[in-house]
Amino acid sequence: MLSARSLFQEIVDCDDSFQLFCSIAASGEAQGGWENGRIAALVPESMRELAPKITRHGADEDKHGRLFNALLRKRQLDPVPVPRATDYTMLLEQRGIGLAHEKLRRDEPLTEQDIVVYLSHSRVTEQRAADQMELLVRYFGEHPELGTAVRMIREDEENHLAYCHEELLRLAAAGHGPTIRRVLREAALAEIRVHRDVSLAVMAHMGRALHWSKARSAVLAAGIHAKYAYERLGGWRRMADLRMPERRGALDGPATTAPAF
């Protein structure tokens, strides 16, 4: 039976597909860690109170990258190069999601507008991350090899999402509402296209590693296209709404560690 659970289990059970999965995840998390670190260093003086939270966000992303690499080491596997078509963060940047790396490499303070855009983009991408980790916890939360790592990452992603909601609502109340609404819509519509393209590319690579039949690959591709159609017709709105989270001050304090890894 073809189900999400059986699909994930097949990927986890095969060293080649597991190696690619963890390498893609580790690379994306490490990239997010670098970006948040640079943004924290360049926050304008008028918004310096956000710097510790952005720093913690980046530290969490770095930790996630180390967790995925630790999962590889447990199997005595090395990270592999990430195929360009599966590089979610790079493709998002090409679509204008996230602050340009050229800007982040310069030692020039960002503007308040930059921070509003950054938080809006983060709200969208953190929704995707939280949804994906929720799925992994549902299937592998008690897995002896993966359980601890996916539960830890899921907890962090929920904190990141709560932080984005809370800070954007505060900024909206301070007069940035029109910009936030516009950027959230643009970012959500761009993200769902990137997510579709990356999902198709990842499934193609997994299919080769796992020797899937053309028929099975076609069914999975059709499912990805169907999800994109749903999101394009209105499902994207869940990635662009704002509501006060139950977790307030989710990124206050230092980042948590992962001593088990």
Structural domain of 117: 4-239
Residue 110 burial by Cβ neighbours in a 10 Å radius (0-12, 13-18, 19+): buried
**207 in any annotated domain:** yes
**63 in any annotated domain:** yes
Q: Give residue 1's pLDDT.
A: 53
**What residue has token string 């997010």?**
32
Contact 180, 116 (CB under 8 A): yes
Q: How far apart are CA 6 and CA 8, in angstroms?
A: 6
Across residues 132-142, what is the average pLDDT?
Answer: 94
Query: Which pLDDT tens digit goes with each residue over 3-21?
Result: 788 889 999 999 999 999 9
Which of helix, strand or coil describes residue 27? helix
Query: Which pLDDT tens digit goes with each residue over 149-173?
Result: 999 999 999 999 999 999 999 999 9
Task: Supply the pTM of this predicted model.
Answer: 0.94
Within 10 angstroms of residue 252's Cβ, the number of other Cβ atoms is 11
Within 10 angstroms of residue 231's Cβ, the number of other Cβ atoms is 20
pLDDT > 70 in the chain, percent: 98
**202 in any annotated domain:** yes
Q: How many domains does the chain have?
A: 1
**245 in any annotated domain:** no
**175 in any annotated domain:** yes
CATH of the domain at 97: 1.20.1260.10
Residue 89 has pLDDT above 70, yes or no: yes
**244 in any annotated domain:** no
Residue 40 has pLDDT above 70, yes or no: yes
Q: Closest by alpha carbon to 138, among 4, 18, 22?
A: 4
Q: How far apart are CA 54 and CA 33, in angstroms?
A: 10
Residue 232 has pLDDT above 90, yes or no: yes
Q: Give the CA distances from residue 254 to residues 55, 225, 249, 258, in Å, rounded to whole numbers and listed in that order.
A: 9, 40, 12, 13
Residue 255 has pLDDT above 80, yes or no: no
**249 in any annotated domain:** no
**What residue has token string 């930790």?**
63
Across residues 32-59, what is the average pLDDT?
Answer: 96
**254 in any annotated domain:** no
